[in-house]
Amino acid sequence: MIHIFLPENEAEASMAQFFRLKGYTVIVESSDSLQLPAVDRRMKLTLDCLKREGVFVHMYDYVWIMRYVNERYRKKGDLFFSSVKSYRDYIVAYLHNDGVAGISTLSQYYSSGSGDFPDWTFSDTDDTTERLRRINIAQRFASVFVKGV
């Protein structure tokens, strides 16, 4: 299902209405107006896509997405995911994704990162290739999540 933002002119409105009637799209006011189940479904599809593509090399690689989401969607100082446990529960129990590291491992790697995306640095490695790999996981996530699978 594709989400189309409110059309700006009559031609766009006509096309959007056609696709909506065919069941291909949903028209939304803004990206903030997506219903939670739609966001959850998109998150699930995005994680599944990254998994199929082999983006996740380590079971702890899911934590880079948590770091990105918390940084990108922070509102008034509040994190999107309040803890590693809440994030892992969301990924494993709610979205039914397996192959995710345990809470202590995710916490360890989450704590190793600092800086603002995409200029992240990590205290657990000096390897530039590993640093870029972690950043690329977040970039790929953002690309697939926004564009859809």
pLDDT surpassing 60 at residue 29? no
Same domain, 44 and 114: yes
Most confident of 36-40, 79-83, 114-118: 114-118
Domain identity same for 12 and 27: yes
Q: Are residues 104 and 116 in the same domain?
A: yes
Same domain, 88 and 57: yes
Domains contained in the chain, number: 2
Point out which residues pair with 145 in neighbouring strands: none
Over residues 124-135, mean pLDDT: 97
Task: For residue 22, give its domain range.
Answer: 1-34
pLDDT at 73: 78
Confidence grade of residue 26 (pLDDT, cut at 50, 70, 90): low
Which contacts of 106-114 are long-range, i.e. CB under 8 A and separated by 24 or more positions? Answer: 106/60, 106/62, 106/63, 106/66, 108/60, 109/60, 109/63, 110/63, 110/66, 110/67, 110/84, 113/64, 113/67
Same domain, 40 and 93: yes
Q: Is the pLDDT of residue 38 over 50?
A: yes
